[in-house]
Copies of this chain bind each other. A is one copy, B any other.
Amino acid sequence: MPDPLHDAFDSESFRALGHGVVDLLADYLAGATRGDGPVLPWKDPAAQLEDWPVATGEPLEQLLPRWLAASNHLHHPGYLGHQVTAPLPLAALGTFAAALLNGATAVYEMGPANTAMEQNLVHWLAAKLGFGADADGILTSGGSLGNLTALLAARQAKAGYDVWSEGQAGGAPLAMLVGEQAHYSVARALQVMGMGRPGLVKVPADERYKTRPEALHDARRRAEADGRKVIGVAVNACCTATGSFDPLGPIADFCEAHGLWLHVDGAHGAAAALSPKYRHLIEGIDRADAVVWDAHKMLMMPALCTAVLFRDGRRGYEAFAQEASYLLHRHDPRDEWYNLCGRTFECTKTPMALPLYLALSVYGEELFADYVTSRFDLGRRFGAMLAAEPDFELPVPPECNIVCFRYVPPKQGDLDALQVQIRQRIIASGAFHLVQTRLATGIHLRVTIISPFTTDGHLQDLIEAVRVTARPA
């Protein structure tokens, strides 16, 4: 009797299919890393929609190559787009194994080895930040969820009443002082939490897009004058737009002086902790109450793998708890560290530790240090290259591998419109994927040098491509 369901799980069919997929992906990798083909095969969304009808019976041998060709190629040296990395191939193999086994990690017995890997990895990452033995944390599905988790812990620790149990109606409305360059996921988290727009009080940045510590006093006064209880300060290491690192030391001084929570969104830049050369950029991060760190940004992992690290690990047990349970019960909740659902929003969590665990074991920490250092180095060299060109403007010298610039031709028209047009044309050409961002001085082009295959030569080509593209047709 034919049994299509059991056939779909047949190990030998899977073996044959699997070898085919590996070959297809290896061929992709060979081509992409040497710069073959477009980095982004641009197509209009409406036309794209037509290409992918559901359940048509298209066979895998046709479907998967078609999907590969239509997808972005992050391993291409021209990939300079959003802060999503070209993953280590070994890490993708880890994701593959993790996906087949499907050992979720919210409850220990669902994924025992995955849970232990995660816990050890979290402690390893925390130690890299300079956190002490009390530190702890979890991995979660992305930086937005990471920021939400940490801000919930901040709310519970600093509101002065039990918000988890009583709700926002239980006491004074709350406010967080947030660096004006913070990622939009911070505002989104606070608004999800019912704090509204006034719950986010912006702290101005200086001309280098760094949060001004001396502006914290005024922000706090404004929040309090508005009848709000300030729970903490959220700043960046580094900010998304320009890659600027906030001065964590002076900000930590302010937080300590006023008993406020210090939240550091280190989604991108916390990885500086692994680079002896650039570690100084996050000096003071060991004084944060919580740090969010995306492994799918500067640790070459596939999305999603975000660490939420607490200096005092007990705080992580309060984010989703009605009370500081370790104070009220005889037992320490840390005795049950292995059931992660008590500390993460997720009730089923992918076994996201495996890819990073494998890569650290096989390649060692040095590979990551070299990656971070080489990409930050290249970002700074690109900044210097641009500064030397008369027709390019740098809004701020880059500190890491995020570089903003704009093209300012001798005969200026609408500079904002020009940048948008340049970007659209370059993307459509398939040569480079870069993004744009609006800064105080107008719209800028923006690159994140995140592919390990991008060199000075490619960036020189980008400069030339911008010039050529900007010429009237």
Contact = CB atoms under 8 A, between A and B. Distances in A.
Interface stretch (A48-56, A283-291, A381-389): A48-56
A72 B101 contact: yes
Contact of A99 (B96, B103, B166, B366): B96
A6 B75 CA distance: 11
A71 to B, nearest CB: 5
Given A5-B367, A82-B107, 15 more contacts: A8-B88, A8-B367, A12-B30, A24-B97, A48-B113, A52-B113, A56-B361, A60-B358, A81-B110, A102-B296, A142-B348, A143-B348, A168-B169, A169-B196, A304-B346
A143 B350 CA distance: 12
A370 interface: yes
A149 B34 CA distance: 41
Given A51-B113, A350-B303, A11 B27 contact: yes
Given A6-B452, A89-B100, A67 B18 contact: no
A167 B141 contact: no
A67 B354 contact: yes
Contacts of A28: 100-101
Interface in A105-128: 107-117, 119-121, 123-124
Contacts of A91: 99
Interface string A24-41: 111111100100000011
A53 to B, nearest CB: 6
Chain A, interface size category, equals: 35 or more
13 contacts: A8-B89, A9-B75, A11-B89, A17-B89, A19-B22, A45-B112, A45-B338, A73-B101, A141-B141, A143-B348, A166-B197, A169-B169, A169-B173
Contacts of A115: 45, 48
A52 B120 contact: yes
B58 A348 contact: no
A198 interface: yes
Secondary structure at the A interface, as helix, strand, loop or mixed, is: helix
Contacts of A196: 163-170
Contacts of A111: 71-72
Contacts of A170: 196
Contacts of A30: 11-12
Interface stretch (A183-191, A412-420, A465-473): A183-191
A59 B362 CA distance: 6
A14 interface: yes
A238 interface: no
Contacts of A346: 141-142, 144-145, 304
